[in-house]
Amino acid sequence: MARSIQLKDPHREARIYSARTVAAVLLVLGMLGIILARYYSLQVTEYETYRTQSERNRVQLQPLPPKRGLIFDRNGVLLADNRPSYMLSIVREQVADLDATLAELQQLLPISDSDIANFRKKLQRRRPYEAVPLRFRLTEAEQARLAVNRFRLPGVVVDAQLLRYYPHGELFSHALGYVGRINEREVLELDESDYRGTFHVGKVGVEKYYEDILHGDVGYQNVETNAHGRVLRVLERHDPVPGANLVLNLDIRIQRAATEALGERRGAVVAIDPRTGGVLALVSTPGFDTNLFVNGISSKDYSALRDSLDVPLFNRAIQGVYPPGSTIKPFMGMAGLESGLITPEYTVADPGWYSLPGDSHKYRDWILRIRGTGHAPRVDLNMAIAESCDTYFYDLARRLTIDRMYDYLRPFGFGERTGVDTTNERRGVLPSTRWKREAMAQPWYPGETISAGIGQGYMLASPMQLAVATSVMASKGQRRVPRLVHSINGEPVEAPVLDPIAAPDEYWQAIYAGMLEVVHGKRGTAKALAKDIQYQMAGKTGTAQVIGIAQGAVYREEDVAERHRHHGLFIAFAPAEAPTIAVAIIVENGGGSSAASPIARKVIDTWLLGETADG
pLDDT tens digits for range 524-583: 999 999 999 999 999 999 998 876 555 555 556 665 677 778 899 999 999 999 999 999
pLDDT in tens, 284-334: 999 999 999 998 888 888 999 999 999 999 999 999 999 999 999 999 999
Q: Where are the alpha helices (DSSP H) in 7-97?
A: 10-40, 47-58
For residue 4, the SS3 value is coil
Q: Answer yes or no: do 239 and 358 share one domain.
A: no
Per DSSP, the three-state class of 469 is: helix
Q: State whether 408 and 449 are in the same domain.
A: yes
Pair 240, 295 in one domain: no
Sign of CA dihedral 606, 578, 468, 568: positive
Sign of the four-CA dihedral 41, 46, 47, 52: negative
For residue 179, tell me if it sits in a domain.
Answer: yes
Mean pLDDT value of segment 96-104: 86
For residue 614, the model assigns a pLDDT of 40
Q: For residues 229 and 256, state if they share a domain.
A: no
Q: Taking all residues of the chain, what is their mean pLDDT, rounded to a whole number?
A: 89
pLDDT band at 222 (very low <50, low <70, confident <90, very high): confident
How far is CA 440 from its chain centroid?
31
Do 382 and 513 sit in the same domain of this protein? yes
Boundary of a domain, candidates 232, 248, 264: 248
Distance of CA 344 to the CA centre of its chain: 43
Confidence of residue 204 (pLDDT cuts 50, 70, 90): very high
Are 452 and 503 in the same domain? yes
Task: Give residue 401's Cα distance to chain centre.
Answer: 37
Is pLDDT at 37 greater than 60 in this prediction?
Answer: yes
Contact partners, residue 568, CB within 8 Å, separation at least 6: 542, 543, 585, 586, 587, 590, 591, 592, 593, 594, 595, 596, 597
Q: Is residue 17 part of a domain?
A: no
CATH code, 389 = 3.40.710.10
Number of domains the chain is built from: 2
Question: Cα–Cα distance between 334 and 501 in angstroms, integer?
Answer: 11
Same domain as 277, residue 243: no
Which residue intervals of 430-490 are DSSP H helices? 433-440, 446-452, 463-474
Q: Residue 313 falls within a domain, yes or no?
A: no
- pLDDT recorded at residue 613: 40
Residues 186 and 282 reside in one and the same domain: no
- Catalytic-role residue among 173, 326, 475, 593: 326
- pLDDT for res 497: 96
- The answer to whether residue 561 is domain-embedded is yes
Averaged pLDDT, 144-153: 85
Q: What confidence tier does 250 reach under pLDDT thresholds 50, 70, 90?
A: very high
pLDDT in tens, 554-568: 556 665 677 778 899
- Are 431 and 339 found together in one domain? yes
Write the burial class of residue 260 (CB in 10 Å: 0-12 exposed, 13-18 middle, 19+ buried): middle
Q: Are both 577 and 536 inside the same structural domain?
A: yes
Give pLDDT, residue 237.
Answer: 81
The per-residue pLDDT for 50 is 61
Note whether 227 and 83 are within 8 A (CB): no
Same domain, 204 and 277: no
28: in domain: no
Q: Which residue would you say has higher pLDDT here, 262 or 240?
A: 262
- The lowest-confidence range among 178-192, 215-229, 313-327, 328-342 is 215-229
Asked if residues 132 and 122 have their Cβ atoms less than 8 Å apart, the reply is yes
Examine residue 465 and state whether it is found in any structural domain, yes or no: yes
Tell me if 9 is assigned to some domain.
no
Residue 6 lies in a domain: no
Backbone torsion region of residue 607, taken as left when φ is above 0, otherwise alpha when ψ lies between -120 and 50, otherwise beta: alpha
CATH number, residue 240: 3.90.1310.10
Is the Cα dihedral 107, 112, 114, 115 positive or negative?
negative
462 is catalytic: no
Whole-model pTM?
Answer: 0.84
Q: What is the mean pLDDT of residues 88-93?
A: 84
The parent domain of residue 399 ranges over 252-302+318-609
Q: How confident is the model at residue 615 (pLDDT cuts 50, 70, 90)?
A: very low
| Residue 161 near residue 65, CB atoms below 8 Å | yes
**pLDDT over 90 for what percent of the chain?**
60
Phi, psi for 362 (deg, rounded to 5): -105, 125
CB atoms within 10 A of CB 190: 15
Report the candidate in 496, 502, 470, 492 with the shortest Cα–Cα distance to residue 482: 496
Same domain, 294 and 419: yes
Rounded to whole angstroms, the Cα distance separating 360 from 602 reads 45
CA angle 99, 101, 107 (to 5 degrees): 105
* Cα four-point dihedral sign 138, 141, 142, 148: positive
